[in-house]
Structure 1
Amino acid sequence: MTMRIPSKDEILAWISDNPTQTSKRDISRAFGIKGAARIDLKRILRELESEGHLQKRKKTYRDPGKLSPVSVLKVAGPDADGDLFAYPQDWQGEGAAPRVLMLEKPGAPALAKGANILARVQEVQGEDHGYNGVLIRQIGSNPQRILGIFRKTHEGGRLFPVEKGSDKEWKIAPDAVNGARDGELVEAERSSANTRMGLPSARVVDRLGDPSAPKAVSLIAIHQHGIPDAFPDEVVAEADVAVAAGLEGREDLRDMALVTIDPHDARDHDDACFAHVDDDPNNPDGYVVWVAIADVAHYVTPGSELDHEARKRGNSSYFPDRVVPMLPDRLSGDLCSLHEGVDRACIAVRMQINSDGQKIGHRFTRGLMNSHASLNYQEAQAAIDGDVNDKCKPLLSTVLEPLFAAWRCTLKARAERQPLELDLPERKIVLGDDGKVKSVAFTERLDAHKLIEEFMVLANVAAAEELIERKQPLLFRVHEEPSAVKLEALRETAIASGLTMAKGQVLKTAHLNRLLTQAQDTDHAELINISTLRSMTQAYYGPDNFGHFGLALRSYAHFTSPIRRYADLIVHRALVSGHGWKGAAAGFDGLSPQDEAQLIETGTQISETERRSMTAERDTTDRYLAAFLSERVGNELEGRISGIARFGAFVRLTETGADGLVPVSTLGREYFRFDADEQSLIGESSGFRLTIGLPVTVRLAEAVPVTGGLRVELLAVDGKEIPRGRGGRGSRSFSSKRSGKKPKTKSGKTPGTRPERKTSRKVMRKRKK
C-alpha cells in the first residue's frame, strides 16, 4: 500500500492551525508519514521554502521576539481609518503580538476578517504598528495544479496526469471543462467539489494544445516543475532600457585576440580565452592564459527587478528545443553575450601557468573586450588536426596553437591532482525541422572541449582564491566527499565484480580513479562508473568552503557563467567590491549588504533551482526518447541493468541510453526477493539473480511519449535464456513473449493499456469471490 503524502495546501493549513508543531517530525506524525515517504515530505517542504511560503529556522538562531520575514498571519479587519491590520499566528515573544499593517498590492484580492494569509513582513520604527506586510497569498487559495491529458466524456471529462508512474484520474464537471477538447494537454486545479466518494474533482484552468506536438515536450516539463518561462513586464522593461557599457573605469582589452569556443548551437557566449608564451624570465616555457567573462554585474544590480527575477530563477534551463533563460534576451542574447566583432564589458583574469601546468599567479581586471572570432568546438579541433577552414586560418598560429599548447601543459598538473575521471558519455538529442527527434547520439569528447573545461576550472579556482585573500564573502561550489555508507556499497560492488578497492584510508579521488582504470575495457566498466557516480554526494552552493572533492580542489567557486547561473553573478559582485572597481552602471553593482546577509538562503535557493532544472531537463529527454522509440515497440534491443528496485529492474538501452522498466511481475512464475545491500533481485526457487551491470536482451513492450515511460520485457541475460521459476505468481506475458508473438485479447487488442489492466483486475476479483 502506497503511503499518502499530504498536499502543499494541507501542510500549510496544518502549520497555520498548529503554530507550535511545525518541525518535520511534527508534520510527519500529524500525517502518519514513515520510512522512505519522509523523503517526499522533505522535498515538498523544500519546495514550499524555495517558493517563499515557508522559512526554515534553526532554534538556536531564532529570535522569538521578532517575526520571520515570511509569516503566517490572521487578518483582524480594517480599523476606524480603513487601514487593514493582521496579527501573527505563531507569536512566542514576550508581551502582546505586534500589529502588521497590510500594504495594498495592485491586483491583490480583498482580505476578509479572519482570513489566514502568508505575508512578507518588514519591521518599522516610530509607528503605532510593528511591521508592514505584503500579501503573498491566502492559505488555501492556491489549489493543487495538475498537468494532464483531457478526455471528453458524457459527464464532462476525465484528466489523466502526465506525471510518470501516476495512475490517478481526475473528474472534470461539465461546467469546469473551460472549452478543452478531447486529447488536449491542459493544466487543471483541484476543485472544492465534494470528493469523499469516487474520483477527485478538478477544473481546467489553461489549455496547452496538442500533447503530441513537438513543442509540448519541454512545455510539459516546464509547467510540471514550476519553472518560470515568462518574464514580468517590469523585468523586461528594465532590461530593454539597458545601454552597452563603455570604456570608463575599464582596462582596454579590445586589441587582445580573445575568441569564444562553444557548441555549434550555443544560445549565448559568456566566456572567451586567449593564450601566449610567457615572456617572464622567471617562468621558462610557461604560458599566460586569459579568460574573459561577460560582465553581467554591470547590468544586473542588487535589488533591481532583474536581480529579484534572476535570483528566483537561479539558473537557465536548457531543453533540446528551447532555453528558459535566467535573464531576458536583451541581456542574455545581446549585451551580455560576447558576440564576434562587438565591444563587450567583461571581467577578465590573467593567469600564469608554468611548464608543469601549475597556476603560479593571477590578476583580475574589469575590462572592455572585442571577440575576434566565435568558433565552435568542431572547427577549432579540425584546425588543430590539420583541416583548417577559412575562418580559423588567420587564427591558427597566433590563437589556436598557443591555446592548445597551454592546455597540454595543464594536463601535467591535472594528472598530479587527479580529479575524478568518470566515463559516462553524454547523450545529445537532435531534432529535425519539424521538431521531432531526428537522431539520438552520444557526443564525442574532443580536446577542444577539454581545453575550455580546464581553463574554466582554472579561472574558477582563481576567483575563489582571490576572494579568500581579499576576505570577501562569496558562494563556493561545494562537493563534499562520499559518506562511509555509500563508499562501502561501492566497495561491495567492486568486490563482486572481481575488482579491488582500498579500505581504511583517507579517501582521495586517486583511489576511485584506480578502480575506474581497473574496470576500463571490461564488462563491468559501465557498472563501476554508474556505481561511482551514485556514491557521490550532490554538489551545492554555500558560503562555507568545504572544498570540491570531485575536482580535487581545496577552493572552488563558479565565476565563468553569470549569464546562466546566479552563483556566478554573486562571485562577480564580490570581485567588484573586493577590488573597488567603479563601473559605469547606473547604481551600485558590487556585493550589497543584503547579498551578504542572505548568502546562506541564496545558496539553498539556487541549489534547489539547479536540481529542479536538472530534473525537468531529464524528464524532457525521457519524453523525447519515448517518442523516438514509440515506433519500435515490439523490437528486440540490447542493454544493461542500470538499477534495481523492489518493483523491478531498470535497463539502460545501449543505442539511445534510455532507461526502460522490467516489472518484477514479468520475471517468471516465482517470488523475487529484493536485496537492497547487493542491489539484486533473486528468484527464490530458481536462484536466478539480476544485478546492476548485467548485459541483457529485451523487447520494447510500451513507450509512452507523454510521460516518458518505457516498459521492456526481459528475454535474455548475459546471452542466456531466463530460467522458468516455479510457484509464486504467474506470468502469462512471459510465456507469450517467448513465442515471439504478442498476446491478443478477445477484442484483438494488445494488452498493456491502462483500461485493459483495470478490466483484468476486476475479473480476478470476481473469480476470487
Structure 2
Amino acid sequence: MEVTEKDVINFLKHRRKPTYFKMFLKKLGIPKSEKKKLRKLLKKLQKKKIIRYEKGKYLLTEWKEEGDLIEGRVEAHPSGYGFLIVGEDVEDLFIPPPQMRYLFDGDIVLAKAVKRRKKDEAKIVKIVQRAVKTVVGIYKKDRTGHYILLADTVIPHRIYISKKEAKKKKLEEGMYVVVEITEYPAPKVRGRGKVVEVLGKTKNTRTVAEIVARKYSLPLKHSEEAVKEAEKLSPVVRITKNRRDLTDQICFTIDPESARDHDDAVAIEKEGNLYRLFVHIADVSYYVKEGSAIDREAFERGNTYYLPEMALHMLPERLAAELCSLRPDEKKYAFTCEMLINRAGKVVDYDIYESVIISKAKLTYDEALRLIVGDPALEKKYPDLVKPLRYMEELAKILMKAKEKRGSIDFDMPESKILFTETGDPYDVVPYERHLAHRIIEEFMIIANETVARFMEEKGYPFIYRTHEEPDLDKVIKFVDLVAGLGYDVSYPEKITPKFIQKIIEKATGTPEENLIRFMALRTMKQAKYTVENIGHFGLASDCYTHFTSPIRRYADINVHRMLKKAIRKKFTKKDMQELPEKLKVIADQCSKMERVADDAERDALEILKLRILASHIGEEFEGVITGVVSFGLFVEIEKYLVEGLIHISTLPDDFRYDEENQRLIGKERIFRLGDKVKVIIERVDEDLKKLDLLLSDDSLKVS
C-alpha cells in the first residue's frame, strides 16, 4: 500500500505529538524500500501542512492555531540571552543563550512554552522568517577560518566565507564588508555567506550611515521608475477654482538651520481676543498619485530616515526639496487648516481647504526667537514678521497652558547633537536646546492635527488616527515604586490619567533626578502608533489626534490628506465606506512598523558616533547618573554625551548585594540606587559591539 498525504496528516492528528521519521515507518508499516518516497512526501508537506524541527521531529502546522505553538519576534540582549515577544497582552518568554546562538534579533519564530521554576522559557520549534539577510560586518581570520563578525546584530554572530573568496576580494583584517547570508548558524552548522561589497577599513561618518542603513534594510536610493515619474511632474502652480489664493498673505516657515524640505508654513491674525491661525502644509498628495511608483516606494519606506550627515528621503529629491517644499518667494500648492482660537486655547471655528501660498521668509528657530525678543538687525531684514511672531508667542503660551491644564505630559527629554569636522568626522557632542520658537511650531502643529482629526471623526469617514494607549497598570505601579524609592511622596493612582504622570514629573522639575524621572515615565508608556480606530492619545491627553503636518517625510500624512480631500469634496462613496477601513489599516500598520525602524536606525547611528568620540577619552573622568541597577552592575548615562555604559560589579571594590525590589546595589559602606549622581572613568569602548565599559571613580566610592 502506497502512503498518501492524507495518511500522514491523519496519523499526526491522531498522535497529537511530535513524531520521528522512524515512527512513521514503523506505525504506518512502510517498507525500507519506500523510505525515499516518504521523505519526499514529508518534504512536500512541510511547505503547507507540517513543521520539521529539532532532531528530525514532525508536527502539524495547525497545532499553532490550536494554541500548542506560539508565534513571536525574537528580541536579543547583548549578554547572550533573548526574549520572545508575543504581543502586548502576553508575557514575554525567556530564550536561554544556547538557543540564541542560532537566532538573530527580529527573527519571527514558532515556539512552545516550557515551564521553568522562575519563568516560562521559549523552546524554538521553527524559524518562520529571518530578520537579517544582508548585513555589514568586519572581516577577521583565525584558526577557525575566515569569517565576517556581524558586529551590529545585538549578539555578534560569525558568518564564514571561503579562503578563496577572501583572496579574490583582497580582504584585509579589519575591513568592513557587506555579507549576504547563504546558510544560517544551526547546531553543528556554521553560518555561511558571500561578500557582496567591500566598504573599506576606514569607518567614517558616511560608512556608519551605510552600516546602519544596511542593518535595517533601508533603501539607499530611489528606483529609476520613481525618479523618472518625479522628473515628469510639472513645476507650474496654478490658482484654480477649488483653491484659495493666499499668495498675498504674510506666511513663513520656521525650521532647523540644516532643513532642505519645508513641510509647513504659518500665518496669524488677531481679531479682538481671538487669534486666527493658518497652518499651511505642503500638498504632497497633489503630486503623489495613489498607485504610482513614487507612492509604492513611499509606502514601503513609511518615512524619511535621518542618519548622520545623510537623509534617506521618503520621496525623490525633486519632490522633497523642490516641488513640494514651501520655499520662500515661490508659489506652492498647500493644504490649509485655518482656526479661530480663543483665550482659553479652544478652537471655536475652523476651515480646511486647498490653497496656493507664497512663503515670505525661511526662518531658523534661532532667528524666530531673536525676532520675538528683539534684534534690530533682523527686524530691519524682516519688518513684516515682527508683529505676527509676537502674536504667535502669545497664542503658543495660551495653547501650552491649555494643554498643561488637561494633563498633557511634557517629557521634554534632554537632546544632544553631534558636531562634525569639515571632513565629516565627529568630534564633540553638545546639548540641543529647544526654546520658545520650537514650542511655537510644536503647539501649532498639534492644534492643527487635532482639528483635522476631530473634523473627520465627526463626519464618521474612514481615517488614520495617531493613537497612544494608556500604560499598563503594573508598569505604572513599578514607576510609582521607583519614584517613591527616590524619596518622593507618591501613591498609587485610582485611575491612570495623563495628569497623574504629569504631576509626578512636575514634582521632580529642577531636581538632580528630573531627567531620570522623565526617562522612567517615558519608559512606562506604550508606543504611539497609527490606527483606523480613534482611541485617543494618552501622552497628549487628547481624545482625537492624527498626523497631518509632515507629508514630505511621513506616508501616513499623505493618506490623511487624501481622506481629507475626499471629505471636503464630498467624494466618499458607499464602496469607500466599506473598503477603505481595511485598506487604511494596512497603511497604518506599515507606517507604525517603519516608524520603529527609523527610530532604531537613527538611535543606533548616533550611539556609534558618540562611542567613537568617547574612544579618544579613555581614562578620563565624567559625571553621570545611574539609569539602571542590575545583578551584574550599574548602568550609567554620561550626562555630557547622553550615552549609557556599564560598571560591572566585578570592578567594584566591595561585596555588593543586589536589592531587586528597590533597584539598589548594597555594599558594606556604600549603597548605589537608581538616580544617584556618580563620577565615572571611561575604561573601554567597542564601537562595533556598541559597548561602553566604565569604572567608578574613587570619589564616588566614598561614603556620602
Which TM-score tier does this pair reach, normalised by the shorter chain?
0.7 to 0.9
2:84 alignment counterpart: 39
Unaligned runs of 5+ in 2: 1-45, 52-59, 94-106, 111-127
CA drift of 1:300 comes to 1.3
After superposition, the C-alpha distances for 1:370-427 in whole angstroms (9 at most, x for unaligned) are 1111110001101111114347532234432232233233244234223112242111
TM-score by length of 2: 0.79
2:427 alignment counterpart: 438
CA drift of 1:229 comes to 2.0
3-state SS in 2 of match to 1:339: coil
Query: CA separation in 2, counterparts of 1:197 and 1:309?
Result: 41
Q: CA 1:477 to 1:199, structure 2 compared with 1: closer, same or farther past 3 Å?
A: same
CA drift of 1:713 comes to 1.4
After superposition, the C-alpha distances for 1:635-659 in whole angstroms (9 at most, x for unaligned) are 1111011123344321100111111
Q: Note if 1:238 corresponds to 2:203.
A: no
Q: Which among 207, 214, 218 is matched to residue 205 of structure 2?
A: 214
Deviates more, 1:563-572 or 1:380-389: 380-389
Q: CA 1:601 to 1:515, structure 2 compared with 1: closer, same or farther past 3 Å?
A: same
Query: CA separation in 1, counterparts of 2:66 and 2:598?
Result: 25
CA contact (8 A) 2:74 2:109 kept: no
Q: Which residue type is aligned with residue 678 of structure 1?
A: N
CA contact (8 A) 1:272 1:371 kept: yes
Q: Which among 571, 576, 580 is matched to residue 569 of structure 2?
A: 580
CA drift of 1:466 comes to 1.1
Q: CA 1:243 to 1:645, structure 2 compared with 1: closer, same or farther past 3 Å?
A: farther
| Count of residues in Structure 1 that have an aligned counterpart in Structure 2 | 609
Q: Note if 1:678 corresponds to 2:662.
A: yes
Q: CA 1:522 to 1:711, structure 2 compared with 1: closer, same or farther past 3 Å?
A: same
Query: CA separation in 2, counterparts of 1:211 and 1:336?
Result: 37
1:530 alignment counterpart: 519
Query: CA separation in 2, counterparts of 1:612 and 1:189?
Result: 20
Q: Note if 1:264 corresponds to 2:257.
A: yes
3-state SS in 2 of match to 1:364: strand
CA drift of 1:696 comes to 1.1
1:603 alignment counterpart: 588
Within a 5 Å distance, the mapping from 1:1-16 to structure 2 comes to none
Deviates more, 1:338-347 or 1:661-670: 661-670
2:702 alignment counterpart: 721
2:409 alignment counterpart: 420
CA contact (8 A) 2:345 2:398 kept: yes
Query: CA separation in 2, counterparts of 1:233 and 1:327?
Result: 13
Q: CA 1:563 to 1:462, structure 2 compared with 1: closer, same or farther past 3 Å?
A: same
Q: Which among 314, 332, 347 is matched to residue 359 of structure 1?
A: 347
Q: CA 1:340 to 1:538, structure 2 compared with 1: closer, same or farther past 3 Å?
A: same
Query: CA separation in 1, counterparts of 2:628 and 2:579?
Result: 44
Q: Which among 334, 337, 348 is matched to residue 349 of structure 1?
A: 337
CA drift of 1:31 comes to 12
Query: CA separation in 1, counterparts of 2:131 and 2:549?
Result: 38
Q: CA 1:500 to 1:400, structure 2 compared with 1: closer, same or farther past 3 Å?
A: same
2:171 alignment counterpart: 181
Q: Which residue type is aligned with residue 238 of structure 2?
A: G
2:599 alignment counterpart: 614
Within a 5 Å distance, the mapping from 1:326-725 to structure 2 comes to 326-390=314-378, 392-580=381-569, 595-668=580-653, 670=655, 672-673=657-658, 675=660, 677-682=661-666, 686=668, 689-716=671-698, 719-721=700-702
1:172 alignment counterpart: 161
3-state SS in 2 of match to 1:513: helix
3-state SS in 2 of match to 1:303: coil
Q: Which residue type is aligned with residue 218 of structure 1?
A: A
Query: CA separation in 2, counterparts of 1:238 and 1:227?
Result: 21
CA contact (8 A) 2:246 2:357 kept: yes
2:284 alignment counterpart: 296
3-state SS in 1 of match to 2:697: strand
CA contact (8 A) 1:180 1:204 kept: no
3-state SS in 1 of match to 2:520: helix
Query: CA separation in 2, counterparts of 1:328 and 1:425?
Result: 32
2:26 alignment counterpart: none
CA drift of 1:306 comes to 1.4
Query: CA separation in 2, counterparts of 1:592 and 1:230?
Result: 36
Alignment root-mean-square deviation, CA: 3.5
3-state SS in 2 of match to 1:254: strand
Q: Note if 1:251 corresponds to 2:238.
A: no
CA drift of 1:479 comes to 0.9
After superposition, the C-alpha distances for 1:526-562 in whole angstroms (9 at most, x for unaligned) are 3322211111111111011111111111100000001
Query: CA separation in 1, counterparts of 2:513 and 2:215?
Result: 36
After superposition, the C-alpha distances for 1:156-190 in whole angstroms (9 at most, x for unaligned) are 63212222653433332123335152122112133
Taking only the aligned residue pairs, the percentage that are identical comes to 29
CA drift of 1:682 comes to 4.3
CA drift of 1:467 comes to 0.8
1:760 alignment counterpart: none
Q: CA 1:353 to 1:142, structure 2 compared with 1: closer, same or farther past 3 Å?
A: closer
Q: Which residue type is aligned with residue 504 of structure 2?
A: L
CA drift of 1:200 comes to 3.4
Query: CA separation in 2, counterparts of 1:34 and 1:709?
Result: 15
Deviates more, 1:252-261 or 1:642-651: 642-651
CA contact (8 A) 2:72 2:109 kept: no
TM-score by length of 1: 0.73
CA contact (8 A) 2:320 2:552 kept: yes
CA drift of 1:198 comes to 7.7
Query: CA separation in 2, counterparts of 1:30 and 1:619?
Result: 23
2:21 alignment counterpart: none
Q: CA 1:653 to 1:240, structure 2 compared with 1: closer, same or farther past 3 Å?
A: same
After superposition, the C-alpha distances for 1:750-769 in whole angstroms (9 at most, x for unaligned) are xxxxxxxxxxxxxxxxxxxx
Deviates more, 1:347-356 or 1:437-446: 437-446
CA drift of 1:436 comes to 1.0
Query: CA separation in 1, counterparts of 2:643 and 2:75?
Result: 33
3-state SS in 2 of match to 1:621: helix
CA contact (8 A) 1:379 1:389 kept: no
3-state SS in 1 of match to 2:157: coil
Q: Which among 155, 158, 179 is matched to residue 147 of structure 2?
A: 158
The structure with the greater share of residues assigned to helix is 2
3-state SS in 1 of match to 2:229: helix
Query: CA separation in 1, counterparts of 2:421 and 2:457?
Result: 48
Q: Note if 1:203 corresponds to 2:203.
A: no
Deviates more, 1:643-652 or 1:430-439: 643-652
After superposition, the C-alpha distances for 1:179-218 in whole angstroms (9 at most, x for unaligned) are 1521221121334499865853332122223352221112
CA contact (8 A) 2:656 2:665 kept: no
CA contact (8 A) 2:261 2:320 kept: yes
CA contact (8 A) 2:532 2:581 kept: no
Query: CA separation in 2, counterparts of 1:194 and 1:507?
Result: 46
1:275 alignment counterpart: 268
Deviates more, 1:701-710 or 1:439-448: 701-710
CA contact (8 A) 2:462 2:580 kept: no
3-state SS in 2 of match to 1:269: coil
Query: CA separation in 2, counterparts of 1:711 and 1:155?
Result: 28
Unaligned runs of 5+ in 1: 1-11, 46-52, 57-138, 279-283, 583-587, 724-769
